[in-house]
Amino acid sequence: MFNLTPTVRNLLIANVLFLVAQNSLLPLLTQVGSLYPIGSPYFFPWQFFTYMFLHAGWGHLISNMFGLISFGPLLEQRWGATRFLTFWLICGVGAGLLYEGVRGYEQHKMELSRQEFHRNPTGAEFDQFFRTYFPDATGYETLAGAMERNPQNQEYISSATQAVDGAVADTMNSRNSGMLGASGALFGLLFAFAYLFPNTELMLLFFPFPIKAKYFVFLYAVYELYNGVHRTPGDNVAHFAHLGGLLIGFFVVKYWEGRRERFY
């Protein structure tokens, strides 16, 4: 069914072996290899590379590897093994860097909100802080209501301050804040495929009719942008990492095209 080229096959094998290692041989690999926020005690520079070979489970792995074996072989045949692997790694590392930038910006905004709450510890500010940055959290509404009814109660203010400070600290110090997966590299691949083979018709499970590659990638990018900006409770997908991979893929392809070095 799939005509796997050498580099695509090797990437597939490597990702499967890494997941097996994560699950049974070396569970610590997930912690030391996932991409944590810069400033976290769990962050190490090599994570910009290792995170793209780790996955959260077999479903996560299969979805990414299906994209790799679907779109990768034609690109490897077009570019050659070395250039294809270079592109995959650049998109993966670049997606991680851009995601860290977005995450750092969000962390900075959260810190400013924390400082604002310290200056003005009201029930409304407390409620707004958790609604904005921790929409999955529960239980804070009771304390927020109590603060509104008794705004000078120092016990309530102290409890709310500790809750806000603890929530901010957890975003940096939690072992669950790591990002992993090959999606960033895959989105770079999707852009390159749509750019080089724009009119190739794809038959997808969630589309009842064939759709050209250029339209599919455009709609997918819009979807990721919308979900990245309008995060819903329980959504733990790194949408901006996906967009970062797509953006890096655009820059790399345009750079190679401009140099005209074995691009066609």
Domain count, the chain: 2
Q: Evaluate whether residue 82 is within a structural domain.
A: yes
Among the three residues 150, 175, 200, which one is the final residue of a domain in this structure? 175
For the entire predicted model, the pTM comes to 0.83
Which phi and psi (to 5°) does residue 212 adopt? -70, 150
pLDDT per position as a tens digit, 98-129: 889 888 888 899 999 999 999 989 988 989 89
Q: Do residues 30 and 44 share a domain? A: yes
Q: Do residues 121 and 145 share a domain? A: yes
| Spacing of C-alpha 212 from chain mean position | 25
Average pLDDT over residues 44-61: 92
Average pLDDT over residues 55-61: 89
Confidence band (pLDDT; 50, 70, 90) for 263?
very low
Q: Do residues 99 and 143 share a domain? A: no
Parent domain of 43: 6-104+179-259
Contact 147, 127 (CB under 8 A): no
pLDDT over 80 (residue 194): yes
pLDDT per position as a tens digit, 121-176: 998 898 989 888 888 788 888 888 889 899 889 998 999 999 999 988 888 787 77
Q: Do residues 167 and 183 share a domain? A: no
Which phi and psi (to 5°) does residue 225 adopt? -65, -45
pLDDT over 60 (residue 230): no
Share of the chain above pLDDT 70, in %: 86
Contact 232, 213 (CB under 8 A): no
